[in-house]
Structure 1
Amino acid sequence: MGNSRISATLGAIVASTILAACAHSAPAENQPAPAMAANPGTVDKMKLPPGYLPRTAMPDSLALLPPPPAPDSAAMKRDEEARDAAVKLRGTARYTQAATDAVIGFPQIPNDFSCAMGIAITPDTTPKLYAMMAKMTIDVGLSTYGAKNKYMRVRPFVAHNGATCYAKDEQLLRKDGSYPSGHSALGWGWALVLGEVNPERANAIYQRGREFGQSRLICDAHWQSDIDAGRVIGSAAVSRLHADPAFLADLQAAKAEVEAAKAKGSTPTVDCAAEAAALATVAQ
């Protein structure tokens, strides 16, 4: 990635929680990451935990994506219309769920997908799966930064002088390009892999991955076109991971681990009925 910049938002992705998860040990719950300045060359100097791929093998979002919608274009009009509809969900259970989805940390991320998977995803019950989700986060997250840094698109809450559903991240987001959505890339990437690990529940998992991205629209942190582009990068990153022997070995181990967990009667530790109701909330 050469002289690319990396923002404080990715600092949340590479928090010590991820470092611990990649080492197959239990991290402190949602421990915050140190802030990382978005300065040229930071990627080269940063001691990131290892993903599966060398940076030269990661998908290039700048090559894969068109520019974001131009001001006054039809595509930008659609983005504004989607935002207007999403704003109506403020104060609802879906808005609260969007705030939960905003947290990129472990164990929050496994919990977000636990209901869709139908099992608990923890470092004790499914250590291989838990660590694989953390490790692939590096590859998928970094793959978004070519386009992010090139376009530095202003986020909707900034453009409209508003607020997001997760105030803790707002200062960081103001310095981080909106296009493509890293959260959407990650959510869709995790969903694709989890659907392969647990194909019996693939549709529920894909739906959760889609909603994880849509939470960014509801949160006013991303435009809809950011989210759509994020899914493209998430798909590309997962496709590339399937050419990596270490990832494939971990994938097979995770499949066996999940089958064993299901045989033991593992169940999610979160309130799945409440999550389902929140995700089904529609604007009035």
Structure 2
Amino acid sequence: MDEVPDPALAVVERALGAGPYTAPSMSRLRISDLAAHTTSRALTLVAVDRDEVDVPARALALVETARAIERLAAELLTATVVHARTVGAGWDEIGDAVEVTRPNASIRFGPAAADWLERSAGPDGLPRVPMYRSPEHLADYLDRWAAERGGPERAHPDSRAVSAGLRRLDMVEELALLRTAANTRVGADALPLRDLSALHTREADLLERLADSSGASGENGKSCENGGSGGSGSGEDDKPYRSEAEAARLRATELARLLAIQDAAENDASRAAYHAGDDEGPPSWAARRAPQIQQALAELPTHDGE
């Protein structure tokens, strides 16, 4: 019997530490979403109401629906081009696919591709899906949509026709993106304290999971070498990860402390401005706190050798 997808399954997987979807998976998910919307709208034209045969106003309503489908189809086409660009297709190849010249393809679809690239990159460097639902909720919804409306030839063995084909970042890939964001978002482009604290918390979680994985591998290796007699493993493989995880956790804790100071300063500024009837600039207490926060940030340890 086919497995019925659990509406909360993907969300639980993410909460338990599953990595986010890759950038190509995000753009492909958007195609699935638009295809489902376009198909659902087109299906409304299949059944025939008798008034639609003889009444001009009802016939015109069909025209309006067809126009809406046309707009959705155009958006779907753009989404497929954006996905093709995301996975590395060139404008020459895209032009051939849509039967236009390379310059015309770039002019027509280039802005949409650039906009998607900008909006789909989160502040922590991880892929984001700039749509109305989280990727997990959207993929789960589309799994159920496909199971209810797709024919048997399109049914996936476990009824997860959409999410089963999407790929998530593995721990190493996600860690690399997080660290790139932490090391490159500096100065005027620096991440807010709240985002930076969350980033280092996630970094520590990943490092601890990598340490657990390395420890388990070392333990299994020693067990095999000992002819299956067991063993606790050397523990050497996971030491670097444990050390880095501890440092990342300390950074996150310190950032949380600084965030509390910042929030207190902002609240004080708001109260003082309210009582003074002045909305211009922070009061002196908040101004004195700002250098303290900046100095503490500058003293935070960074990744060795990075």
TM range (shorter): under 0.3
Bigger relative contact order, structure 1 or 2 (CA pairs below 8 A, ≥6 apart): 1
The TM-score, its normalising length taken from structure 2, stands at 0.23
